[in-house]
Amino acid sequence: MPKMKTNRSAAKRFSKTGSGKIKRRQQNKRHILTKKSPKRKRQLRGSALVDKANEGQVRMLLPYL
C-alpha cells in the first residue's frame, strides 16, 4: 500500500496540540478591518480549536498529523 498524500494547503492551516486536538486560526482578520471594533479584532487574534463535527474531515486531509 503506498503512502497517503497530505493535503499541503490544509497542512499550512492546521496544527496539532499536545492533547491531540487540531488547532486553527480565526477567520475575519484579513481585510476590511476598519469597520470592525478593536474588541472584535483583539478577540480574533488568538487561535481556536476545530469543532468535533469537522475534525474528521480535517483528519482525512492530514493523515500524518
pLDDT in tens, 7-36: 999 999 999 999 999 999 999 999 999 999
Domain residue spans in the chain?
8-61
Mean residue pLDDT across the chain:
95
CB contact at 8 A, 49 and 25: no
User: What does the alpha-carbon distance between residue 26 and residue 48 come to, in Å, rounded to a whole number?
Assistant: 6
Q: C-alpha grid cell for residue 12?
A: 499550512
Report if pTM > 0.85: no
| CATH number corresponding to 8-61 | 4.10.410.60
**Proportion of the chain above pLDDT 90, given as a percent:** 97
Residue 1 has pLDDT above 90, yes or no: no
